[in-house]
Chains A and B, each alone.
Chain A
């Protein structure tokens, strides 16, 4: 038996035993509700309106997320996060409701940017990046779409935290 293995090994060395790598068939998570999908800079971001998450300290020393099912109309915010799924990355993420956007060069917000129309409207950073904060999944979707329809903005970006965030000391 041992000799047979040696012969096989030598034969492999001579003819190069290389098998092609065949991709593992992949199962991608499909869109569950097209009505809650927004275009996030070219990829599909699905708002899972019936899920909420709370932040919990993770075993790794950072953050974890505890998911619960809730009515779609339930509020979201820092204490009760919304849940999304990025279909390009195939990763789940969490939202506080923040949506950042940048005005085109030399443009600044006009009078229609009041906090009634755009809740939580505030400057994020220089020179002209701002943020609004949605309070429910429906409002999040609506705000993203409304901002995307404006022609005075350079980009609109839902703020999503993917997976747990951890400090970078490595753990075995």
Chain B
């Protein structure tokens, strides 16, 4: 098969990384890709798979997307029509058009690059249009609760709640909207792939940057996937990001709810165009994909960078992007998410009988162990004489699965995933969960000991008719805290595996935590039954506002275990 008939394909390191030019100053490190080319050679390209791009819009007439766009099942919430293209008067970068290109840019047309699932059908829903207030009604319509989107196989959600720096209450609404997608595809379930968020170094709003100082100091994540209530449910597949060196991207949120990671790159600038930046990540590769046509819609402002920021994003001076219709600046968990969504499309083409749980299982089973030397973050400067484990690094659980809060189960390997999907016959049995959550059996005093490396814990005795964990959701209720950055919560399984649900030095601003749900994938495959131990820490000095956990029966700490 001829792989090089799309002019920008040779620059798309996320597809096949040979250490090529990606328009940034720094070249990608050879081999750090999603192993996609071999899948194409096997004949899979996402043909017949329908992917909903729930985003800011989608330029339906884009020269490298149009042939794959399905307007009959797209929707524009601003106009009430089926065309999610932004209005001409609505000038600006269109995030959704770049996301769509990563999934399904057209192949072999002599234009642009190539989507990972280049024959998938793309449906656009402009739920996040910049002038459109967020609406649950619109979200339901875009995500499978309406005939316009109900026959999608995959939903791509490259978004999260922007600048809410905290742990939100669990949302039954979003849980129900996403749970409904489990009934789609004749009960096999449509896959919802959602980004982990880009708050590792700072919140999107500079108003809250001061909250990230401790996280920055200890090189742990300021934000967490759980800081968006739309990710709080058990259904979405949460995606972290790798850069072109094959390690954690500088902005990608970490947390126990991550499933896998995929390429998203760094910032893509070239020092020939933008010299003198102190952060080396600025000059590392981002993702090459489609962009909304028209140089007035560029991601970087022509007035700020008249000559652009790299040889592709050069305000139309590059013949391959003379209308600024391609970019080498797309990054973020926004990019890792469509990369994963596209791989799911390839898997479903290879085996349309996969359920969502099978898809997740295969993604995890075939994930590459990236950054194998990463051993976590354990400073001894928080409590004298004690190394406090803020992040564990890679953990091998009792069922033999390796997991880290930084990467989930590892990096997506498209070829391995599709190969496993093709021959997959061990479909997971029906999923079960405990009815009504467990209440604790040994409550600690409501007040958590300050400046303690051992913390206080409570236990849950679990005895269920099903045996194997798929995921555990913890309901947290903290009635007061000296500052949530003082606090850390972890959960230990009956097999002795520990998961840090949220780490100290986080960037959360909460005065209290009310019914927040944090999901952990760390225990995948482990036995359900036995004693689970939930531990709370307060690493700060004693204060007038001690950490107190709720002992209110209406807002207790609880476990919800799902498995088979």
Q: Which of B103-136 contact A (CB under 8 A)?
A: 128, 130-136
A163 within 8 A of B: yes
**In the complex, which range does the number of interface residues on chain B fall in?**
35 or more
B437 within 8 A of A: no
Question: Which 10 pairs of residues, A with B, have the shortest CB-CB distance?
Answer: A163-B163, A167-B95, A162-B164, A168-B334, A23-B482, A57-B130, A20-B541, A169-B332, A170-B198, A125-B145
- Kindly name the residue among B163, B197, B332 whose own CB sees the greatest number of chain A CB atoms within 10 A: B163
Question: How far does the Cβ of B557 sit from chain A's closest Cβ, in whole Å?
Answer: 13
Q: Across the interface, which residues of B come within 8 angstroms of A26, CB to CB?
A: 482-483, 511, 545
Contact B513 A168 (CB under 8 A): no
Contact B95 A28 (CB under 8 A): no
Contact A23 B173 (CB under 8 A): no
Cα distance, A124 to B178, chains bound together (Å): 12
Starting from the known contacts A26-B545, A169-B335, 14 additional A-B residue pairs (CB-CB under 8 Å) come to A20-B541, A23-B540, A26-B511, A42-B515, A62-B130, A78-B135, A90-B510, A124-B145, A125-B140, A154-B172, A162-B163, A163-B165, A167-B55, A168-B159
Cα distance, A162 to B168, chains bound together (Å): 10
Using A167-B159, A169-B335 as known contacts, say yes or no to A21 and B137 having CB atoms under 8 A apart.
no
Question: How far does the Cβ of B555 sit from chain A's closest Cβ, in whole Å?
Answer: 5
Cα distance, A94 to B163, chains bound together (Å): 12
Cα distance, A60 to B330, chains bound together (Å): 13
Cα distance, A96 to B136, chains bound together (Å): 10
Using A18-B383, A155-B172 as known contacts, say yes or no to A168 and B333 having CB atoms under 8 A apart.
yes
Using A18-B381, A57-B130, A172-B267 as known contacts, say yes or no to A164 and B512 having CB atoms under 8 A apart.
no
Contact B176 A125 (CB under 8 A): yes
The digit string for A139-172, where 1 denotes a CB below 8 A from any CB of B, is 0000000000000001101010111111111101
A11 within 8 A of B: no
A72 within 8 A of B: no
Contact A124 B136 (CB under 8 A): yes
Question: How far does the Cβ of B116 sit from chain A's closest Cβ, in whole Å?
Answer: 17
Question: How far does the Cβ of B106 sit from chain A's closest Cβ, in whole Å?
Answer: 22
A98 within 8 A of B: yes
Closest to A89 in B: B166
Using a Cβ cutoff of 8 Å, how many contacts connect chains A and B?
Answer: 221
- Kindly name the residue among B130, B166, B514 whose own CB sees the greatest number of chain A CB atoms within 10 A: B130
B282 within 8 A of A: yes
Contact B332 A170 (CB under 8 A): yes
Q: Across the interface, which residues of A come within 8 angstroms of B381, CB to CB?
A: 18
Question: How far does the Cβ of A146 sit from chain B's closest Cβ, in whole Å?
Answer: 18
Cα distance, A90 to B480, chains bound together (Å): 13
Cα distance, A100 to B137, chains bound together (Å): 9
Contact A55 B133 (CB under 8 A): yes
B169 within 8 A of A: yes
Which of the residues B135, B162, B540 comes within 8 Å of A63, measured between beta carbons? B162
Q: Across the interface, which residues of A come within 8 angstroms of B219, CB to CB?
A: none
Using A91-B164, A161-B161, A170-B251 as known contacts, say yes or no to A20 and B451 having CB atoms under 8 A apart.
yes
Cα distance, A23 to B164, chains bound together (Å): 21
Cα distance, A61 to B97, chains bound together (Å): 13
Q: Which of A96-129 contact B (CB under 8 A)?
A: 96, 98, 100, 102, 122, 124-126, 129
Closest to A125 in B: B145
Q: How many chain A residues have a CB neighbour from B under 8 Å?
A: 55
Q: Across the interface, which residues of B come within 8 angstroms of A61, CB to CB?
A: 56, 92-93, 95, 130, 299
Contact A126 B540 (CB under 8 A): no
Q: Across the interface, which residues of B come within 8 angstroms of A170, CB to CB?
A: 198, 249, 251, 267, 331-334
Residues in A lying within 8 Å of B, measured CB to CB: 16, 18, 20-24, 26, 28, 40-43, 55-58, 60-63, 78, 81, 87-91, 93-94, 96, 98, 100, 102, 122, 124-126, 129, 131, 154-155, 157, 159, 161-170, 172
Q: Across the interface, which residues of B come within 8 angstroms of A161, CB to CB?
A: 133-134, 161
Which of the residues B158, B483, B514 comes within 8 Å of A167, measured between beta carbons? B158
Contact A172 B279 (CB under 8 A): yes
Which of the residues B136, B165, B539 comes within 8 Å of A159, measured between beta carbons? B136
Question: How far does the Cβ of B416 sit from chain A's closest Cβ, in whole Å?
Answer: 26
Which of the residues A41, A56, A87, A96 comes within 8 Å of B135, measured between beta carbons? A96
Which of the residues B92, B137, B177 comes within 8 Å of A122, measured between beta carbons? B137
Which of the residues A20, A23, A164 comes within 8 Å of B163, measured between beta carbons? A164
Contact B514 A43 (CB under 8 A): yes
Question: How far does the Cβ of A97 sit from chain B's closest Cβ, in whole Å?
Answer: 10
Contact B511 A88 (CB under 8 A): yes
B509 within 8 A of A: yes
Provide a sorted-by-A list of 15 A–B residue pairs whose CB atoms are within 8 angstroms: A23-B540, A42-B169, A42-B477, A55-B131, A63-B131, A89-B166, A90-B509, A125-B140, A125-B176, A163-B164, A166-B162, A167-B56, A168-B160, A168-B333, A170-B249
Contact B166 A90 (CB under 8 A): yes
